[in-house]
Amino acid sequence: MTACPALLVTAPASGQGKTTVTAALAHWHRSHGRRVRVFKTGPDFLDPMVLERASGAPVYQLDLWMGGPAHCAELLHRAAQECDLILVEGVMGLHDGVSSSAELAMHFGLPVLAVIEARGMAQTFGAVVHGLASYRPGLTLAGALANGVGSPGHAQMLRDSLPPSIRWYGSLPRDPRYALPSRHLGLVQAGEIDDLDQRIAAAAEALGAHSTLTLPAAVPFCGPSQAGAPAAQAHGLRGVTIAVARDAAFSFLYRANVEMLRELGAELSYFSPLANERVPVAADALYLPGGYPELHAAALAANGRWRDSVHAHHASGRPLLAECGGMLALMESITDAQGRCTPMLGLLPGRATLTGRLVNLGMHSVALPEGEVRGHTFHHARIDTNLRPAQHTQPQKRHSEPESVFRAARLFASFMHLYFPSNPAAIAQLLRP
Helix residue spans in 192-275 (DSSP H): 196-210, 255-263
Q: Kindly report which listed range (25-29, 95-99, 290-294, 317-321) carries the lowest average pLDDT score.
A: 95-99
Question: How far is residue 158 CA from its own chain's centroid?
Answer: 32
Q: What is the mean pLDDT of residues 155-177?
A: 94
Q: Please classify residue 270 by burial: count the beta carbons closer than 10 Å to its beta carbon, then call 0-12 exposed, 13-18 middle and 19+ buried.
A: middle
Same domain, 86 and 195: yes
Residue 196: give its domain's CATH number: 3.40.50.300
Query: In this structure, which amino acid lies at residue 72?
Result: C
222 is catalytic: no
The confidence band for 342, taking pLDDT boundaries of 50, 70 and 90, is: very high
Same domain, 285 and 172: no
From the list 426, 288, 276, 290, the residue with the least C-alpha distance to 366 is: 426
Domain that holds residue 346: 241-431
What percent of the chain has a predicted confidence (pLDDT) above 70?
97
Same domain, 345 and 408: yes
Within-domain flag for 217: yes
Same domain, 104 and 247: no
Within-domain flag for 234: no
Question: What is the per-residue pLDDT for 220?
Answer: 95
Q: How many independent structural domains does the chain possess? A: 2
99 pLDDT higher than 50:
yes
Query: In this structure, which amino acid lies at residue 401?
Result: E
Same domain, 138 and 259: no
Within-domain flag for 227: no
**How many C-alpha atoms does 431 have within 13 Å on its Cβ side?**
35
Within-domain flag for 83: yes
Question: What are the DSSP E strand ranges found in 213-259?
Answer: 218-221, 241-245
Within-domain flag for 67: yes
398 pLDDT higher than 80:
no
Same domain, 216 and 303: no
DSSP β-ladder status, 85-89 and 36-41: parallel
Question: What are the DSSP E strand ranges found in 198-350?
Answer: 218-221, 241-245, 267-271, 285-288, 320-323, 333-335, 341-343
Within-domain flag for 8: yes
The C-alpha angle 384, 385, 389, rounded to 5 degrees, equals 120
The C-alpha angle 78, 84, 86, rounded to 5 degrees, equals 65
The confidence band for 227, taking pLDDT boundaries of 50, 70 and 90, is: very low
The residue with greater pLDDT, 229 or 170, is 170
248 pLDDT higher than 60:
yes
Within-domain flag for 236: no
Within-domain flag for 78: yes
Same domain, 160 and 268: no
The confidence band for 192, taking pLDDT boundaries of 50, 70 and 90, is: confident
Contacts of 419 (CB under 8 A, 6+ apart): 43, 61, 63, 66, 67, 254, 256, 257, 373, 374, 375, 376
Question: What is the per-residue pLDDT for 190?
Answer: 85
Query: In this structure, which amino acid lies at residue 166?
Result: I
User: What confidence tens digit (pLDDT) does each residue in 74-94 have?
Assistant: 999 999 999 999 999 999 999
Residue 324: give its domain's CATH number: 3.40.50.880
How many residues belong to the chain?
A: 433
Same domain, 216 and 249: no
Same domain, 337 and 383: yes
The residue with greater pLDDT, 57 or 186, is 57
Same domain, 299 and 343: yes
Question: What is the per-residue pLDDT for 234?
Answer: 59
DSSP β-ladder status, 371-379 and 360-368: antiparallel
Tell me which of 4, 72, 83, 324 is the catalytic residue.
324
Same domain, 170 and 259: no
The confidence band for 225, taking pLDDT boundaries of 50, 70 and 90, is: low
Choose one of 186, 221, 256: the last residue of a domain.
221
